[in-house]
Amino acid sequence: MDKKAYRDRLRSQDKRERTAASLGLPYSGRDLAIAFGLYLAAVLLCLFLRNIDLHRDTSYVAVIFLLDVFLTAYWTNGYILGIITAVAGVFSVDYIFTYPYWHISFTLTGFPLTFLVMMTISVLTAAVTSRAKQTETVRREAEREKMYADLLRAVSHDIRTPLTGIVGATNVLLEQDGELTQEQRQQLLRSTNEDAQWLIRIVENLLSITRIHNSEEARVKKAPEAAEEVIGSAVAKTQKHYPDVEVHVSVPHELMMVPMDPLLIEQVLVNLMENAVIHGGTSRIDVTLSQQGGDAVFTVADNGGGIPLHLLNKLFDGAARSDRSSDGKRSMGIGLSVCRTVVLAHGGTIRGENKKDGGACFTVTLPMKGDDDED
């Protein structure tokens, strides 16, 4: 077989696989269980309502089975199962819920028209619902890929800059060591150490992103964690790197258990506090925790120079670069881009704004109800 024929064969096989995937073939055990469970629930609900309805009004039956079709198409892959459910629903309405009961009859007055109308509505509902779900999946994937592309652009600059500093400092030490004073030598070593520490934090952020990227649909595995302990760990890590900065923490009297990945949320808080020091030039950071409705709200506020107005609309796109960096060479983009990625993966929100009395304030909200609670 020549190369062209081989490539055509591969393309044909890939096309068949994509078509099968779009139809939801082969079905998983989960999809079949969902479809059968919803159909059985619809039948039992209709039987229950018929038994308690003295007037034998069965107008609700079609609505219930249409809802069954909608949920089946939405919660399973593809739309074939939705269409099968639609066909089963139409026959169930005639066989179980149309007099004479437990009998298929196509001769009843108006039944052919009713049958066709319900079948058409059911099939369209299944197809449209499935298409909408596929469109949403494509949109999320495109947004996710754009986010990673923006992040990689930020990383390319953030890694190159400290590496250049390390190479330059070590070259000076190697080539001019005998001409340097002890103070100059110590300064070069301190600069090299700072750049190395910055690279370590970039790697930590990249590992956080990889942890999310490798999970399905950019979600994270969450478990109830004490938010106060996560804040305490993040504050301790920040004060270890910046001992001269005052950090004040305010938390509720009662322990708040928030569904989260504690390592990722800790990384978010560390990034926000580091940005306040490096780019805001702050001497004080206030970290607060509160509950608003069904959300846990984390705020990180500082008394620094605030966020430049031209960066407010692009803080989290991975490209934001502040002119106020304490060393004049570090980007604020990667840290905030990681924050956004982590928070969105938790089903939360993040925003940044300037305070009226000076300084910046970042607010992170996380839902108090976990994914398992919603099912």
Three-class HEC string of the chain:
CCHHHHHHHHHHHHHHHHHHHHHCCCCCHHHHHHHHHHHHHHHHHHHHHHHHCCCCCCHHHHHHHHHHHHHHHHHCCCCHHHHHHHHHHHHHHHHHHCCCCCCCCCCCCCHHHHHHHHHHHHHHHHHHHHHHHHHHHHHHHHHHHHHHHHHHHHHHHHHHHHHHHHHHHHHHHHHHHHHCCHHHHHHHHHHHHHHHHHHHHHHHHHHHHHHHHCCHHHCCCCEEEEHHHHHHHHHHHHHHHCCCCEEEEECCCCCCEEEECHHHHHHHHHHHHHHHHHCCCCCEEEEEEEEECCEEEEEEEECCCCCCHHHHHHCCCCCCCCCCCCCCCCCCHHHHHHHHHHHHHCCCEEEEEECCCCCEEEEEEEECCCHHHHC
Ordered structural domains, the chain, with CATH: 3-105 (no CATH), 176-374 (3.30.565.10)
Q: What is the pLDDT along the chain (375 residues), one digit of tens a residue?
A: 444 554 455 455 445 444 444 444 455 678 888 889 999 999 899 888 888 876 666 678 878 888 888 788 777 776 677 778 877 877 787 777 776 677 766 555 555 666 676 667 767 776 777 777 778 778 877 876 776 676 666 666 667 777 888 898 889 888 887 888 888 889 889 888 888 887 887 777 677 666 666 554 456 778 899 999 999 999 998 888 888 999 999 999 999 999 998 888 998 998 899 888 887 888 899 999 999 999 999 999 999 888 888 888 878 765 555 544 444 445 545 678 778 888 988 889 999 999 988 899 999 999 998 655 544
Q: Quick count: other Cβ atoms within 10 Å of Cβ 29?
A: 7
Model pLDDT, residue 334: 64
The predicted model scores a pTM of 0.55
- Using CA atoms, how far apart are residues 332 and 215, in angstroms rounded to an integer? 26
